[in-house]
Amino acid sequence: MPEIATVRQNSYENYSEGQNRLARINRRAELVVMDFYTQMALDGRTFGVQIGTIDAAGGVNSTGTAPADTVVWALTDAQAGTTIIPVEAQVAIETWTTGTLVNFMLEADMGKVRFSAVGGGGAFTAINTRGDSIRAAASTSYVNLTTGAGVTAAAKSTIGGSEGSYEFHTFAIEGLLDMTAGDALPDLGFNWRAKDSGSPPIIVGPGSFVMHLAAASADITATGGYRFIELPSESVT
């Protein structure tokens, strides 16, 4: 019987790119398969974007009284030839102030890149989640930096269709006037994970992954961020 796999539980082999080798199995002859998200991180194809910092009152403001196409909390543009896949997003409220109707929304624009101008935001060099940073992100990211000004973006593509905008996660809380610093709302809708949602949007460039955070009455302050996988579109389409 020809060999089809090699048992490896206590040692690992390092092979060169493009080498043909036997598949890895455990001692029960079960094929060892890594989940897609972990493999992408090991391949150095997962990147993180951070908005604000948790230390020294490093939270940044939300972007006004309602989510708007042209003022966003953060975004990542995928140019033609690049595909991005959202992995997760999170917001941690730092101060509620007197904000009401807090809105958190994630959007996949399949039709165009959305960044327009710096406005109250600035460029952010996406962090490779593999520590030795074997590659830099080909996409470009921008985050909110100043009080309530947000990142200036272009209007969204037509809703729906092959090159439209898709709001794939939305969450709103009303009546937060009694909330104070230190109050916590565990999980709720401020966290989104592709693993929990069933399947993430696949944004084939040109397109954008857009993050919105807004509140009525007054801006709240928060920290947050998201992660995304980046692949050459030829590896996806």
pLDDT 10s digits, 179-231: 665 555 545 568 999 998 888 999 999 999 999 999 988 888 899 999 999 99
Instruction: Compute CA 59 distance to the chain's CA centroid, rounded to the nearest angstrom.
Output: 18
Q: Which two tokens stand for residue 229?
A: 């996988």
d(CA 158, CA 156): 7
Query: pTM for this one?
Result: 0.90
Range scoring the smallest mean pLDDT among 18-32, 50-64, 96-110, 151-165 = 50-64
Q: Where do the structural domains in the chain lie, given as residue ranges?
A: 1-33, 36-235
**Ramachandran angles phi, psi of 41, nearest 5°:** -65, -45
Sign of dihedral through CA atoms 43, 124, 194, 183?
A: positive
Q: Which residue has the tokens 């230190």?
A: 182
pLDDT 10s digits, 63-121: 987 888 999 999 999 999 999 999 999 998 888 888 888 899 999 999 999 999 888 88
**Ramachandran angles phi, psi of 37, nearest 5°:** -65, -40
Name the residue among 102, 87, 117, 75 with its Cα closest to residue 222. 102
**Ramachandran angles phi, psi of 141, nearest 5°:** -125, 150
